Structure 1
């Protein structure tokens, strides 16, 4: 009984370590979201979703890998015990978020699998990162791995439906449907490109209009630019309205 209690305490503490790493990473992402929204009036992250593997799933996976069951072996050979999925609007946002994570001095990206530049044969696209997160326990500091998947809304939609189809067919999907799934993935990738192009064009139009509005509030004398005082602009606006009302 004492041995069972000791093992239970060990596995509980082991799982808590990954939970703390996931909580820490989610907090960092939330801060980046708010900062980016404040600085750029734009949020590259649509939503996030976290998950933890169950102890049963962890032990089944370590057995499939043919490794001895021990906590050091689990830490070495299983890097996706804790996982975080980040969904973005555009492909450029995916790489922007990766750069944000790289800029965090206490995080280390130890592995990258770019299934966007090199999609899987079935059409799956996503950026996978293994990120080492520092976790401060009561008696030590640990570097804990968290798997981060970053994808667009279209990529996430396709991946979700593909998973449901494979589950329904118990992974024995007819070849015709596999081909259609690949074509659907290609369509999702084309949609991402089109939406990003539209986003860029609209952003450029907005910048051009803001530049025109700012130019209208300046006067140029001998190649020198002067800002028209806000009070004078307000006076002109008020008098203009008054003049129209007297006609």
Structure 2
């Protein structure tokens, strides 16, 4: 039973590393989040000039908690050290970008990843290749240099791109998937998948409507 007790932050960080170096490491991750968020907001402002509307609806950031870090390291059987954390966990820093339209997602990705100081480590396109449960999102792991007093540090950040419909579905599915004790879970999973498919169909239809409106405006010109 003692193994399942909730650890406090001090205990977790002691398991990760007995030194205080973790404070500097987490400062690097926070700084990397700020760098990526700034890049995205600059792109958002520039790309809004063409359409008089920003392609980004919202940006959410998060830094994985010490408890979550330790839980993942336990689950993956990684050594409980700071060095192991930095080497094996690439999603400690996270940025979620909510867009209005699917094509805006790929446009933002293209411009972000073309920047000279951005290195793409991993790319998973769950929009074109959704997960079996219907989940859709574009996942990137990128590194960005953080300039500290002792020089630049390449720091990984997970960047997720979703439309508003995808984000709405994912948020509700995340809450509902823990209801394992209820009956009819297979039926519910099927219904959630149908909802995801309908949400994607709506995204595609709205994107087509926007394209048609843009075409009508061009003819007037």
1:9-88 paired onto structure 2 within 5 Å: 9-88=20-99
Task: State TM-score, norm by structure 2.
Answer: 0.88
Supply the distance in 1 between the matched residues of 2:173 and 2:19 (Cα, whole angstroms).
37
CA contact (8 A) 1:166 1:172 kept: no
Deviation for aligned residue 1:111: 0.4
Residue 153 (structure 1) aligned with residue 187 (structure 2):
no
Backbone CA RMSD of aligned residues: 2.0
Which residue in the other structure is 2:4 paired with? none
| Cα-to-partner distance string for 1:102-132 (whole Å, 9 max, x where unaligned) | 2211011110001011100000000000010
TM-score, normalising length from structure 1? 0.79
Aligned length: 207
1:177 aligns with 2:188: yes
Give the structure 2 partner of residue 128 of structure 1: 139
Please state how far the C-alpha of 1:145 moved relative to its aligned partner: 0.5
Q: Which structure 1 residue ranges, 5 or more long, are not aligned?
A: 211-247
Higher relative contact order (CA 8 A, sep 6+): 2
Q: Displacement, 1:172?
A: 8.6
Say which one has the larger Rg. Answer: 1
Q: Does 1:96 align with 2:103?
A: no
Q: Secondary structure at the match of 2:29?
A: helix
